[in-house]
Amino acid sequence: MSLPILFYPEGTVGASEIFSHFRNLDVRSYPAKSPEEIEKFKPTVLIANTRLKVNRETCRAFPSVKIFATVSSGTDHVNFSDLKKESRVFINSPGSNAGSVAEYCWVSLLHFFSEEELRKKNVGIIGFGNTGKMFGKILEGKNIPYVYNDPFIKDRSVPLDEILKCAIVSLHVPLTSDGPYPTTNLLDKDKISKLKEGTLLLNTSRGEVWSEETFQTILARKDLFKVMDVFSPEPPKGKIAEQMASLENSIFTPHIAGYSQLGRLLGTYRLAEKLCILYKESPLPPLSEFLKSNQPISTETFLKEEDRNLRDSWKNQDWEYFERRRNSYPVRKDLGLSDLY
């Protein structure tokens, strides 16, 4: 009897090594941009990146797939109502890249300020989930004060207006459009106007947390420092990308904040752990067995180069560079400030 087939995107960090321990699944890879090519093999498990919208149409395009999955934490590309109606399952790896994003944010602060200067400032964190908490732990370890706003965590949460008074404002919210506290267009022009001159604004969550009009307002404010890893629409193209290409006091990167070695490897590993349970596989070796010490780039030094290369692509109207870099990103060595080790 043939085994259920699992397909994963080529380039998924650690996938070949980790999935090689499976005995009850037939594991295969596919080109990340071409998931439609695998339908003829009748896969049971389809792992894809978050660019694949998982909805009714996707379910019907892949009738054999029982489990859709991603090695990332994001779920805003998934229509869970459609999945339920189609009797399909979705699994992900929440929190796997929290340490990676938090370390990205820490290095971003050091791009503009010294540690001594940071101890005299107050950091405001919007969203205190996995990533917000991890960023907070790094700040605590460096004796840098911070406050946070999260309506789902009443303890110590401060009003959003208090966050906007901080010298540094960092966004760590999931993208939601319904429920009691939607985050789509969370920051409008009025809220942005409350940011003081010299504020550093970081967004590593989703570009849709503000409207395109609000984003234009942010870009127009030359008195703000800006660090952005996410955009809306994504990837940026045309006039707005050309505008960002020459913007001073800013860092722009192609949605790779969570793409350190640990952030990517842990996502694959946690997803594999869930599949081990579902398909009665033997327990995996420890995560440490898959970590490699020698990597081509380091979180400590990568920001300037990523920013420069992205700006150059915009100046040359190479609108596809963003996705190319994101989909073929080299393994980035972590700082080791995260307690996920």
Catalytic residues: 206, 234, 255
| Signed CA dihedral, 99, 101, 102, 103: sign only | positive
303: which residues sit within 8 A by CB, 6+ positions away? 104, 107, 108, 111, 251, 253
d(CA 169, CA 103): 15
287: which DSSP letter? Answer: G
| 3-state per-residue secondary structure call for 11-74 | CCCCHHHHHCCCCCCEEEEECCCCHHHHHHHCCCEEECCCCCCECHHHHHHCCCCCEEECCCCC
Neighbouring residues of 232: CB distance < 8 A, sequence distance ≥ 6: 206, 207, 208, 210, 212, 215
